[in-house]
Structure 1
Amino acid sequence: MFLLLLMGSCISLGLPFLTKNLIDKGVSAKNLSLISLLLLAQLGLFLGTVVIGIIRNWLTLRVGARINITIISDYLKKVLQLPVRFFETKMMGDFNQRIQDHERIESFLTSQSLLTVFSILTFSAFLVVLCYYDFTILLVYVLLTMMSVGWSYYFLRKRRILNYYRFQRRSENQEAVLEMLSGVTEMKLNGFENFKRRRWEQLQEKLFQINMRILKQDQLQSSVFDMLNHLKNVLATFLAAIYTVKGAMTLGELLSVSFIIGQMNAPVSQLITFFRSLQDAKLSLERLAEVEQHPEEWQPDQIGMEHTYEAVLPEEERGIYLSDLSFRYGSAASPLVLKDINLFIPEGKVTAIVGASGSGKTTLLKLLLKFYAPVKGNIHINHCNLQDIESASLRDHCGVVMQDGFIYSDTIERNIVTADEKPDAQRFANAVRMANVKEFIQSLPLKEKTKIGAAGNNISGGQKQRILIARAVYKNPDYVFLDEATSALDAENERVIHDNLTGFFQGKTVVIIAHRLSTVKNADQVIVLKNGRVVEQGYHQQLVQHKGEYFNLIKNQLELGV
């Protein structure tokens, strides 16, 4: 691209001299053979610029595509390495808008920067030629050019501020559209469509006002810029015409100067475009840098989960320890969701966590999975601090079914085996059997190769949960975390899956959040949470006899019937 631009610049420099000789030595001397030769030379140079332009555009597209892929891939790689808490502070529209910003960076790197370098080179060369013809014309041209460039540069700061506001409005706009599309069912059920549409229209009005301000500013800047450009062209041509009339300059030189002035307008405009593109690229890079500079989940001094198995401890001391654990969402002014939790979750046992809605059960589970860090206290696995363990390594050893588990727009098999490049047929069959989802899969036309719609929209809640359970079982993990994993299942499916999982749980550390008695009563220990605190702890029969919080809870919510 660099070489092609250089060749194009050299060709441009040759054209004014051909024009001069065409008039002075061809037309004035009535030399038809020279006229034909010079016109053929001009045609040859024109064809050369066309060929160079075609190749350059092809290279620009190729290089631009590679840069696009690299920028977005690096951005997505970084985003996926950020902690879960980061995503709760950002809107999806914000992420989408940042991804779209890469186009401005790519344009700057592949087009504007190289074109501007050669525009400046071409402009400088034409200035030398113009000086060769007449210094006064050069001086007038340079002064007016500096005025037009200075005027345009003055507007860049204002444009930067408006550009920032436009980014914010576009992010909000994309968020509103995504929310409407993803929540269309609930909107229809609650007659929320018109309200949401009007809210989107209000966002559009704000975006329109920003665009109007940008348009007014651009029009003012470009109008004065164009006027100064046109003025310098007229003055330079007028001076050249006076010199020609007085005999100080030939007609060919006049046409050559006119050609040069016409050719120099493009580099000046390119310089202004470069300043804008540079500003846009800087803003885009700053937005990407906000993500790039955010601390990742992984830290170089963290250890893998295998180190937790190396700890030499008596069997009864092996497990997960929570000591003086407290946690809140948001700032320090927000209330604590969990308060002074002290727990021991023994290794190889089943622990059930129960409590009313809002008691902190799911939050506790997310802390165990390192979605968040405690604001106070610690979590240890076999005396290894959870914050010192790599998040990816921890989750590799965990099978998890969350309340809001996600189904990918992919085949049922891929939804169960997830990242496993070569699925293990035996493990897959075992997972399908344990989750009692085999009959459903066999009823589909392409069996396990059947593709599920986006977010599992074309399957029922119970089928979705069974696929999520199969996904957790397929991993054959050491730790199993289930958050209301069977809440959408009918009694028969729940009974079958519960019986299947009882054998699967053998030798695994299991934490279950549940409301149903059938899931809780066989646990090795039951933890009762209330308002973020542990109020009772023991096994089912013991807590029932105690007739405390657990007794009231299961009487009201677990359908104990006592």
Structure 2
Amino acid sequence: MSISEVTSEARSAIEPLLAGLSDDARHLVLDSFERMEFAFGDPIFLEGDAPDALYVVAAGEARLLKHSPHGEEVSLEVVRPGSWLGELEILSDSPRQMTARASGHLVVMRLEHPLFHALAGSHPQILTGFEKLARNREVLTFLRVFTAFAGLPDGALRSLAEHLEPIAVTSGTIVIEQSAAGDALYLVEDGRLRAYRIDDGDEREVDFLRKGDYFGEGALLRGVGHEASVAAVIDSRLLRLPGDIFHALYESEDAFRERIKKRLNARDYTHLARVPLDFAREVLPAAVHVHHVSPDQATPLRDARSELAEAVSLTREEAEQARAPRPPRRFPHLYQIDEADCGAACLAMVCRSFRRNVALSHIRDIAHTSTDGTSLAGITRAAQDLGLAARSVRASKSRLDQLALPAVVHWDGGHWVVLYGIDKDSVRVADPAIGLRRLTRDEFLSKWSGYASLIAYTPAFKSAPVQRSNLSWLRQFFAPHKRVLVTAVALAVAAAGLELVLPILAQVIFGSVVPNHDVGLLWIVLAALAATLFAVTAAAMLQGLMLARISVRVDTDSLDFMTGALLRLPMRYFHTRRTGDIERRLAGLRQIRQFVTGSGVTALTAITQLVAAVVLMFIFDWLLALAFLATLPLYLGLLRFSSRRLRPLYEALEEAYGSYASQQIDAIKGIETVKSLAAEEPFRANMLQRFQRLARQVFHTQFLVLAYDNAVLLLGFLTYALFLMVGALQVVNGTLSIGTFVAFNTLVALANAPAVLILSLWDEFQLSKILIGRLDDVLAQQPEQGPDHSSLRPVTTLGGQLEFVGVGFRYGGAESPEIIQDLSFEVEPGTTTAIVGRSGSGKTTMIKLVAGLIEPTAGTIQFDGLDMRTLDYRSLRRQVGVVLQESYLFNDTIARNIAFGEEEPDLDQMVWAARASAAHEFVQRLPLGYDTRVGEAGLQLSGGQRQRIAIARALYHRPPVLLFDEATSALDSDSERRLKQSMDELLENRTAIVIAHRLSTIRDADRILVIEQGRLIEDGRHEELMARQGLYYHLASQQLEL
């Protein structure tokens, strides 16, 4: 290559390496380069490739990309003419550390690997210059990927990198000493160090420093000695920024100054509440995944509650007044509703220990509990939102005794429990899955991860919302049938009363008929006995008939009520619950009804019969009555056993059934995938393994229930045996007649039966309480847009103007990633706006936001200039036609699927919508046409056919706004072309937002928005975006092979 072909920018990059070379040598080096050109998106080299050559950018731009430790692709920098590429790997002869990709038309000068080494061997100064250049690039990469300075402007970052001095330290080397003056800022490039303080001769760990951490800034800025010493734990590499350079950067670079200030503020915060515990900067959810957070989010704290109060800006006097209310004598326990609730249930228990009953459903919402559970950050933030002082820590297990209590601790791999008591040899925990437990210290420590949320009371907690116990939703189903229920109870009581006639008749027979051989009296007694039995049987039959009639009505009303309640809930409720769990809750309605109408009436009858029998016993003989009641404490013990042991088992079993039901639903829905992969046997083995786990749980529960039931029977026999012993002794002593003894024997039989029945029903009562609690979780949720919609504007028509104003969205709390970030744009009425971007960039989330299925966590969305949240969503959605990625068809006819929500489909409207969506033709070919049943129990349609019916459903009401999310992804090219022709006419004068991976379908859109990682990065028409040669051009080039 001639010298004239080298651009001035490339020559300026090469020139420093030629210093000191002869003219012939300079020409030799320049002639060794070859010119190469790349189009947009073409890779110059890929991360992990072997180094083949050295490059210098001559014209255009290239982007350097690298995968972060979390697997994300990080854009390191855009290199411009005069920049070198690939020098690090050439020098070290190692695989490429990053990917270089053309950002447009790119021209580079390429020097072959062997040629470079040959030139460097003969001219060592070339190698020296490159080594300096390579080291600078390596430091820049480290700063961008691993440190808190990653977001600094390019100029500030380069300035920082140029002045950093590498330092190697061996294990045990003290880098800075406590109280010594600060002379530099240090960054940990590799290795591990510890920060520690020595106070009054006692050494205390303060922090551990790892790759990317920095230290020494406090002493530099404040002109005081270092607060702690820092020593290397293992051999480490540091980068040193001299103090004068640090101060110059601090004064000149705003972003650098803000980072340092934020770090110093975070460190000051830790001094308000500090405990000598080592910690790691992680946040654990209920599962075992670890979410890393920035250093200023994890801080150590002291074990005094007053210091926790200081963390929420209380003065020392206020902290003294912020003493928690006297705790209950027994730590309050609350069972989790499902396995994901353990973290929220633990916080609810802590709230109850502070004498405030905060609803579990409210805690779930503010802690952002999902189907994966609650994170440590979520628990701590929720506690703070409630007005409590809270801090997340990872504590050393050797310092368990110094933890502030109560603490919500991460235990047994994927579970949260409340640690509320620590003794010399044991600890006391409140387990939301099991109950209150006492564990040995070794058992607790062996399963404790060290993570905890320490919580203390503050006066602000007095304003936390309190759960109001309200079972009116249950009473309303039975109130209309009050007269029937009262009659049924009266019949039951009458039947029980009539049964008590039997011992009286028995006494007459054995006291008068038998001794006196009075046959006439015998016939009278037998007639009375027959009449009594007839009346009891008639009352029981009539009662059963009455209860059977109201049972059907109660089932219908309760199911309709709960279905309505579920449909009024926002989408986030369904996102955070398993399908099988919701189905189990609805199924529990029938069990509750059976208990109230069946077991409830039976229980009242049994109680009445038992009380009446005991009264008669005292009338007959008080000593025998006391003998019968002697076993009462044992009966009460069984009731306590049922409450404390059986209830948690039923709780866990209901949760397990819900989880397994979800797995079954998932298995049925995914059967095509199972078949297509020939994975029947592994899948069957997996399902068997899951069922065996459930079966073991069922067996354990049934075993305890069996033990309980047999204990009840044994107690009945014991009571009867005690009566026989005392009664027989009285008869032998002549203080009791045979007639009275026989009558009392009948009374004992009549009393024993209801006593045993009451104990059995108490078992059912525990299960019913659990089911009511699980249903109450549904009703405790706030309906979509709140319970009162009177202030919301009904939407009768839409002009079609739509605007995003600083819209942001994230699915979880503040620690969860932003899906949408600061989106602002306006859609004019009657225009078609296309949204394109890579998978996972947030396009579908945008559609769901516009449809009101989810709400922005930042900013506003406006329809016709009105904030969407002030509009009634239900009436708004009638003006918006939506086609989501998943084209779900209900188990009904095609006609009713298209006109879904209408009692009777409008035939003309339905056919028009089907024609517009190109569905009419294939529907007409079906034997039953629009009356063909589809869905799970009907005809199985292709993906394209399902999409066309879904589009027809969206068009049926002729909405002024249309939202299409990959609405044509399953259509073949011909069907898509015909649909596009009809849609072009349909979309005239309608506002449409369209998402499509096939860019050919949206190239005629009035406007195209290009989304990348939730941000709007390009905006314009197809021709404009292609001319810019940005991301849209790159995506289009890949599809259209431009």
The residue correspondences of 1:334-413 to structure 2 (distance < 5 A) are 334-413=816-895
1:504 to 972, 986, 1011: 986
- One-letter amino acid of the structure 2 residue matched with residue 526 of structure 1: I
Structure 1 residue 451: Cα displacement: 0.9
The residue correspondences of 1:118-133 to structure 2 (distance < 5 A) are 118-133=605-620
CA distance in 2, matches of 1:330, 1:202: 32
Kept in 1, the 8 Å contact 2:585–2:775? The answer is yes
CA distance in 2, matches of 1:308, 1:424: 20
Greater Cα offset, 402-411 or 434-443: 434-443
Question: Is 1:521 matched up with 2:1010?
Answer: no
1:537 to 1004, 1012, 1019: 1019
Kept in 1, the 8 Å contact 2:802–2:826? The answer is yes
The residue correspondences of 1:55-454 to structure 2 (distance < 5 A) are 55-299=542-786, 300-301=788-789, 302-306=791-795, 319-454=801-936
Structure 1 residue 308: Cα displacement: 7.8
CA distance in 2, matches of 1:297, 1:192: 41
Kept in 2, the 8 Å contact 1:149–1:225? The answer is no
Kept in 2, the 8 Å contact 1:173–1:200? The answer is no
User: Relative to 1, partners in 2 of residues 1:216 and 1:306: Cα closer, same or farther, differing over 3 Å?
Assistant: closer
Q: Which residue of 2 aligns with 1:547?
A: 1029
Kept in 2, the 8 Å contact 1:479–1:510? The answer is yes
SS at match of 1:526: strand
CA distance in 2, matches of 1:208, 1:478: 54
Identity of aligned residues (%): 28
Kept in 2, the 8 Å contact 1:152–1:221? The answer is no
Question: Which protein is richer in helix relative to its size?
Answer: 1
User: Relative to 1, partners in 2 of residues 1:438 and 1:8: Cα closer, same or farther, differing over 3 Å?
Assistant: same
Q: Deviations over 1:177-214 (max 9, x none)?
A: 11111100101222433333333223223223322332
CA distance in 1, matches of 2:977, 2:634: 82
Structure 1 residue 324: Cα displacement: 1.6
Higher relative contact order (CA 8 A, sep 6+): 1
CA distance in 1, matches of 2:937, 2:858: 36
User: Relative to 1, partners in 2 of residues 1:224 and 1:432: Cα closer, same or farther, differing over 3 Å?
Assistant: closer
2:524 to 37, 42, 45: 37
Kept in 1, the 8 Å contact 2:642–2:762? The answer is no
Kept in 2, the 8 Å contact 1:326–1:377? The answer is yes
CA distance in 2, matches of 1:541, 1:248: 113
Q: Which residue of 1 aligns with 2:88?
A: none
Q: Which residue of 2 aligns with 1:22?
A: 509
Kept in 1, the 8 Å contact 2:933–2:939? The answer is no
Question: Is 1:475 matched up with 2:966?
Answer: no
Kept in 2, the 8 Å contact 1:169–1:203? The answer is no
SS at match of 1:352: strand
Structure 1 residue 455: Cα displacement: 7.9
Kept in 1, the 8 Å contact 2:795–2:876? The answer is no
- One-letter amino acid of the structure 2 residue matched with residue 215 of structure 1: Q
Structure 1 residue 408: Cα displacement: 0.7
Structure 1 residue 457: Cα displacement: 6.1
Structure 1 residue 415: Cα displacement: 0.5
Q: Deviations over 1:246-303 (max 9, x none)?
A: 4333322221111110110111112212322222221111101111111111332552
**Number of aligned positions between the proteins:** 553
Kept in 2, the 8 Å contact 1:131–1:138? The answer is yes
- One-letter amino acid of the structure 1 residue matched with residue 670 of structure 2: G
Kept in 2, the 8 Å contact 1:480–1:508? The answer is yes
Q: Which residue of 2 aligns with 1:312?
A: none
CA distance in 1, matches of 2:706, 2:1011: 64
User: Relative to 1, partners in 2 of residues 1:326 and 1:455: Cα closer, same or farther, differing over 3 Å?
Assistant: farther
SS at match of 1:90: coil
CA distance in 1, matches of 2:527, 2:621: 29
- One-letter amino acid of the structure 2 residue matched with residue 254 of structure 1: F
CA distance in 1, matches of 2:696, 2:653: 10
Kept in 2, the 8 Å contact 1:19–1:256? The answer is yes
- TM-score of the aligned structures, taking structure 2 as reference length: 0.51
SS at match of 1:436: coil
CA distance in 2, matches of 1:342, 1:251: 95
CA distance in 2, matches of 1:477, 1:209: 54
Structure 1 residue 305: Cα displacement: 4.8
Q: Deviations over 1:321-354 (max 9, x none)?
A: 1122222223332222222211111111111111
Q: Which residue of 1 aligns with 2:942?
A: 460
Q: Which residue of 1 aligns with 2:974?
A: 492
Which consecutive unaligned segments of at least 5 residues does structure 1 have? Answer: 310-314
SS at match of 2:882: strand
Greater Cα offset, 399-408 or 198-207: 198-207
SS at match of 2:630: helix
Structure 1 residue 366: Cα displacement: 0.8
Greater Cα offset, 502-511 or 232-241: 232-241
Structure 1 residue 456: Cα displacement: 6.8
Kept in 1, the 8 Å contact 2:489–2:604? The answer is no
Question: Which protein is richer in strand relative to its size?
Answer: 2
- TM-score of the aligned structures, taking structure 1 as reference length: 0.94
Q: Deviations over 1:534-556 (max 9, x none)?
A: 11111122222232222221121
